[in-house]
């Protein structure tokens, strides 16, 4: 799995502060007013301190509206269609997903490039929602079984496509572990909600891994916001 912050609102935390200052003041907060002037009444020695004072106040008081202005777009490579189904349940995001109607998969690619192998296919002990358990089937046998099934699926799919069956129908033979790429965009508040839901201990490992990687990228983008978010995770997002 790979996650990249593809694009984002520049100066996102300044945008949050400008919008919020517009809530508490009758003064215009447009870009022709220097940011230092917009923030003048806020407590703090430096502009950076003032930003932190204001954002901390917003987060503590549950004033999340201003965090809906900045948005980010993430490119994601190589998640299972199962993980894709989970993440696309979030309705305040915009998605583009690699379409198996249009993209033809090759049977020549290494299986691990095309299909997902959870750790539980290989580990001796499995930790699930029910706790730690022994898996009775030996690890080598499990991996072999997965290889066999994945190979059979991709070969059958390729046979149908070669025979002239449209890709959109041949794909019915592909398993839920088939990897896809996707791109999604969200505003900062909606993203925090997604992370609340998908970094929880009972979320599946793959969507948890995706969310944790997205959080790392988000911390690069809005450092103060997402560092505080991580400290307080899961963060209630309604007043």
Residues forming the active site: 198
Closer to ligand FAD by Cβ: residue 135 or 237: 237
Which residue from 184, 226, 190 is spatially nearest to 3, judged by alpha carbons?
A: 184
Query: Among all chains, which residue has been given the structure tokens 């609102």?
Result: 9
57, 147, 197, 212: residue in contact with ligand FAD (rule CB under 6 A): 197
Which SS3 state, helix, strand or coil, does residue 182 take? strand
Q: Is 183 annotated as a binding residue?
A: no
Q: Is the omega angle on the peptide bond into residue 234 within 30 degrees of 0, that is, cis?
A: yes
Residues 63-102 that bind ligand FAD (CB under 6 A): 89-92
Q: Is 148 within 8 Å of 165 (Cβ atoms)?
A: no
198 annotated to bind ligand = yes
Contact with ligand FAD (CB under 6 A) among 167, 181, 203, 235: 203
Whole-number minimum distance, CB 203 to ligand FAD, in Å?
4
Residue 189 labeled ligand binder = yes
9 marked ligand binding residue: no
| Distance of closest approach, residue 49 Cβ to ligand FAD, in angstroms | 32
Of 57 and 69, CB closest to ligand FAD: 69
Q: Which range of residues in 17-25, 65-73, 200-208, 209-217 is near ligand FAD by CB under 6 A?
A: 200-208
Q: Please, what is the minimum distance in Å from the beta carbon of residue 106 to ligand FAD? A: 33
Q: Is 229 exposed, middle or buried (0-12, 13-18, 19+ CB in 10 A)?
A: buried
Neighbours of 64 (CB within 10 A): 19
Establish how many alpha carbons lie within 13 A of residue 227's alpha carbon, considering only the half-sphere containing its beta carbon: 9
Q: What would you measure as the largest C-alpha separation in the chain, in angstroms?
A: 72
Q: What is the CA radius of gyration of the chain?
A: 23
Q: Could you give the 3-state DSSP secondary structure of residue 58?
A: helix
We find the least distance from the C-beta atom of residue 96 to ligand FAD, in angstroms, to be: 17
User: Is 90 known as a binding-site position?
Assistant: yes
Task: Point out the annotated binding site.
Answer: 86-91, 99-101, 171, 187-189, 193, 198
Which residues are at the interface with ligand FAD (CB under 6 A)? 89-92, 193, 197-198, 200, 202-203
Task: Point out the annotated binding site for FAD.
Answer: 89-91, 187-189, 193
């Amino acid at each position: 799995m790979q996650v990249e912050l593809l694009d984002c609102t520049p100066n996102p935390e300044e945008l949050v502060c400008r919008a919020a200052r517009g809530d508490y003041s009758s003064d215009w907060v447009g870009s022709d007013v220097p940011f230092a002037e917009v923030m003048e009444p806020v407590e703090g020695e430096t502009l950076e301190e003032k930003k932190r004072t204001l954002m901390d106040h917003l987060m503590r008081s549950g004033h999340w509206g201003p965090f809906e202005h900045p948005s980010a777009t993430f490119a994601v490579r190589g998640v299972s269609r199962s993980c894709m189904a989970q993440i696309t349940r979030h309705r305040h995001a915009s998605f583009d997903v690699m379409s198996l109607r249009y993209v033809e998969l090759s049977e020549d690619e290494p299986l691990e490039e095309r299909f997902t192998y959870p750790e539980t296919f290989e580990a001796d002990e499995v930790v699930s929602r029910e706790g730690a358990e022994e898996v009775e089937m030996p690890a080598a046998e499990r991996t072999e079984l997965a290889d066999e099934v994945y190979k059979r699926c991709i070969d059958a799919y390729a046979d149908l496509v070669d025979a002239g069956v449209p890709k959109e129908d041949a794909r019915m033979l592909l398993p839920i572990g088939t990897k896809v790429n996707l791109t999604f965009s969200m505003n900062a508040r909606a993203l925090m909600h997604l992370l609340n839901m998908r970094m929880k201990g009972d979320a599946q490992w793959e969507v948890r891994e995706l969310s944790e990687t997205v959080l790392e990228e988000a911390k690069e983008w809005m450092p103060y916001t997402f560092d505080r978010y991580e400290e307080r995770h899961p963060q209630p997002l309604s007043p």
